[in-house]
Amino acid sequence: QKEVEQDPGPLSVPEGAIVSLNCTYSNSAFQYFMWYRQYSRKGPELLMYTYSSGNKEDGRFTAQVDKSSKYISLFIRDSQPSDSATYLCAPKSGGATNKLIFGTGTLLAVQP
Amino acid sequence: DGGITQSPKYLFRKEGQNVTLSCEQNLNHDAMYWYRQDPGQGLRLIYYSQIVNDFQKGDIAEGYSVSREKKESFPLTVTSAQKNPTAFYLCASSRSTAGGWETQYFGPGTRLLVL
């Protein structure tokens, strides 16, 4: 079993839709949960991060973590064509190394 | 502008040839990383370095080598022992490898193709 599982998609939605992107993980030591956005042929960029369980909102984006079920979500409201990208979840533990464990990424296409 | 640069953008390797990918950062970050990205497999860690003159193997180090002689530079050599080198290679850096929310910042990547 992979430490982080993520549906690779592709996920195609119309402009203005609410998008839900999800990951599951197996390592209960994970405490920090990052979401990266990667445009085609570019390096990933940090979108949001959360610590432990709970929600965090930043504009149209909301990150949600449920540690009891080991489930991570990223919601995008009022999706835009510019949101079309691959979204990677990357949890990590709070230990001595900064090792991120990346999901495979979900490819999102927002149709105008 | 602070950031991470990688060169070249595209690199072609012939059979039996070693090639070196460049990664430079001016963020004054202590830690640097190399990842390989293949379709459907996400990012996999090749090597990482916490300080100058020190580095550790990641999950897929076989067929690769690195050096860290300067804080701002972390070149990756893909040796002839790497039998399937075609991939997108990403370099990243962070202030430290300590725990907590410390995140990694990525360069634009180098696409390596085998002739």
pLDDT-based confidence at residue B99 (cuts at 50, 70, 90): low
> Which pLDDT tens digit goes with each residue over A90-101?
998 866 667 788
B 83-102 residues with CB < 8 A to A: 88, 90, 92, 94, 96-102
CA distance A33 to B68: 29
Residue B101 has pLDDT above 80, yes or no: no
Q: What percent of chain B has pLDDT over 90?
A: 75
**Is residue A91 within 8 angstroms of chain B, CB to CB?**
no
pLDDT at A95: 67
Of B41, B42, B103, the CB nearest to A34: B103
Task: Flag whether pLDDT at B1 surpasses 70.
Answer: no
Query: Which residues, other chains included, contact A69 with Cβ-Cβ below 8 Å and sequence gap of 6+?
Result: none
User: What's the pLDDT score for residue A54?
Assistant: 85
* pLDDT value, residue A96: 63
- β-pair partners for A56: A63
Beta-bridged to residue A20, according to DSSP, are A75
Residues in CB range of A61: below 8 A, 6 or more apart: A35, A47, A48, A74, A75, A76, A77
CB-based contact B43 A44, cutoff 8 Å = yes
Average pLDDT in chain B? 91
pLDDT tens digit string along B18-74? 999 999 999 999 999 999 999 877 899 999 998 999 999 999 999 999 999 999 999
